[in-house]
Amino acid sequence: MREESKRKKDIHILLADMKYIDSCIEILQNSDLGRAYFSDYEKAANMLTYAVGQENIYVALDENEKCLGFIYYMTNGVFGSYPYLHIVAVKEEYRSCGIGKQLMKFFEDNASDSSSAKYFLTVDDFNPGAKKLYENLGYKCVGELPDFYKKGINCYLMMKRRG
């Protein structure tokens, strides 16, 4: 692993537009999540283009405006009432630099202004590192969804209460 990727990376997060779509597709397709669900370029492009159009995707940029990761969430994605994190992905060589944590903080700070908010996400059984990150951030597993998105892959539904 490169030395640069072992240090905390300073980023700024902003609403994505189409100029970042290719970077987001590349980041997604080079992740375990992307390999499992979005190996088809057109499928990934369509999903992320939709997210840009809905203004539900934010990019993590370095000081040179290079896209290092993104987060895609819906403010009322669970039961029409609670924020749902759809995807968080970080460029491979910048993982373990704190970017994922910064994106998660952005999600929690911006997805709801309710003092009693509950945040939801799903994480697949093939991604124990992400599940551990979410647990370290206070998310609890509230259910298991066998074969939820794809046969043979179990999904954990996780929730965190604000405060």
Q: Is residue 15 part of a domain?
A: yes
Read off the pTM. Answer: 0.91
The parent domain of residue 102 ranges over 3-115
Burial bucket for residue 17 (CB in 10 Å: 0-12, 13-18, 19+): exposed
pLDDT at 2: 44
Q: With respect to residue 65, please indicate whether it lies within any of the assigned structural domains.
A: yes
Element (H, E) at 65: none
- Provide the domain count of the chain: 1
Instruction: CATH number of the domain at 90, please.
Output: 3.40.630.30
Domain membership of residue 148 (yes or no) is no
Is residue 90, in this structure, part of any structural domain at all? yes
Question: Does 19 reside within a domain?
Answer: yes
Stated as kind and residue range, the H or E segment containing 157 is strand 155-161
Q: Is 33 among the domain residues?
A: yes
Distance CA 42, CA 88 (A): 19
For 35-78, the pLDDT digits (tens) are: 999 999 999 999 999 999 999 999 999 999 999 999 999 999 99
